[in-house]
A = this chain, B = another copy of it.
Amino acid sequence: MSQVITFGEVLMRISPRGHKKFIQSNMVEFYFGGTELNVGISIANFGGNVRHISAVSDDFIGETALSYINKFGVDTSSISLSKRPLGVYFFEVGAVMRPSNISYNRSHSSFSEILPSMVNWERALDDGKWFHWTGITPALTQGSFDTLKQGLILAKEKGLTISADPTYRSGLWKYDKDPKEALTELLHYSTIFIGGINEINEVLGTEYNYSNEAFIEASKQLIKEFPSIEKVFDKIRTSVNASWHKIRARMWNGVEFRETEDLDITHVVDRIGTGDAFAAGLIYGLQKLDDDYKAIEFASAACALKHTYEGDVNLATVKEVMGILGGNTSGRLTR
């Protein structure tokens, strides 16, 4: 697989074990994550070549983050070191009807205060074939917006495929920028749109509902307004409760609408990063499988599998994802 470039914040995630709250135990575990990094590591676990671009703190926490990324064979040579601390988030895992809780400590972090001068995009994109970005990055600060935009300009120039997951979280946009405007500007560089009705409505200012019909209409309109976009991919989650989800995928690739079957995740272990696992599966599938439908099948199986791993990152291999596509959803142990 050719070089995939991901760009975004590296966050330290700190959680009590199991379903405990911080008030219950002073023993906690940490992982690293961040939506774009999650995509990168998952692709590396599929055997892809991945380079992640970011900024981490110039201390033992930053070193630990780099060593974590190295562990998965993702290239960290273009990550810059910053005097600012690494972003952190605290996470309490819910269960059944109890939602999970999240507390971010990321404003003023090493990545939030990134500036275009801190990334050598020429070197960062070297050999790159695919660039992936999300709506989290432009939401943080003017600096992160500007740095991403510079990367997109160069990536487009160099002919990379650009996938966008414009995840819209209104709470994040705290600096002086209109989300719709910012996303619109960046989407014009993108080829692949990974997102659902909420994201389309946000960038188009429309009010489509969640039906398949509406999805097709919305996708068509999106492609019309953003001619660089070729295909739209969406993941649909049905939640019985925090411990029991179902996942399926649908797509409009400019030619046809397709939808997969629901995958039933009866015992969710950790749902953080499942959307990222979907995006990673899609980026892998679109490059390595025969057609777009196989790609969304692969992506939704990857997404389902991620629900069984602790932490932000999908640890599944291609063989494991293919096992599910091959019909083994019974989790049978082979010796």
Chain A residues within CB distance 8 Å of chain B: 14, 17-31, 57, 59-61, 63-64, 67-68, 70-73, 85-86, 88, 90, 92, 94-105, 107-108, 169, 171, 239-244, 263-269, 271, 304-305, 307-311, 315-316, 320, 323-324, 328-335
Contact flag A97-B244 (CB < 8 Å), given A20-B310, A23-B63: no
* B22 & A60 in contact (Cβ 8 Å cutoff): yes
Choose from B18, B63, B244, B320 the contact partner of A98 (Cβ within 8 Å).
B320
A217 CB to nearest chain B CB (Å):
26
Choose from B29, B60, B103, B104 the contact partner of A28 (Cβ within 8 Å).
B29
A20, A73, A335 pick with most chain B CB within 10 angstroms: A335
Q: Enumerate the 3 nearest inter-chain pairs by beta-carbon distance, A residue then B residue, closest first.
A: A242-B331, A85-B105, A239-B330
Q: Which residue of B lies closest to A106 (CB)?
A: B85
Q: Which residue of B lies closest to A333 (CB)?
A: B100
* B22 & A99 in contact (Cβ 8 Å cutoff): no
A270 CB to nearest chain B CB (Å):
9
Choose from B30, B60, B72, B107 the contact partner of A21 (Cβ within 8 Å).
B60
A-B contact sample (4 more), CB < 8 A, given A18-B18, A60-B90, A171-B335: A22-B61, A28-B28, A28-B29, A102-B335
A sample of 21 inter-chain contacts (CB < 8 A) reads A19-B269, A20-B310, A24-B31, A25-B29, A26-B29, A28-B29, A57-B103, A59-B101, A71-B71, A85-B104, A86-B105, A88-B88, A94-B333, A95-B308, A97-B308, A98-B305, A239-B330, A240-B266, A241-B331, A242-B331, A271-B333
Bound-state Cα–Cα, A96 to B14, Å: 25
A125 CB to nearest chain B CB (Å):
22
* A64 & B23 in contact (Cβ 8 Å cutoff): yes
* B324 & A92 in contact (Cβ 8 Å cutoff): no
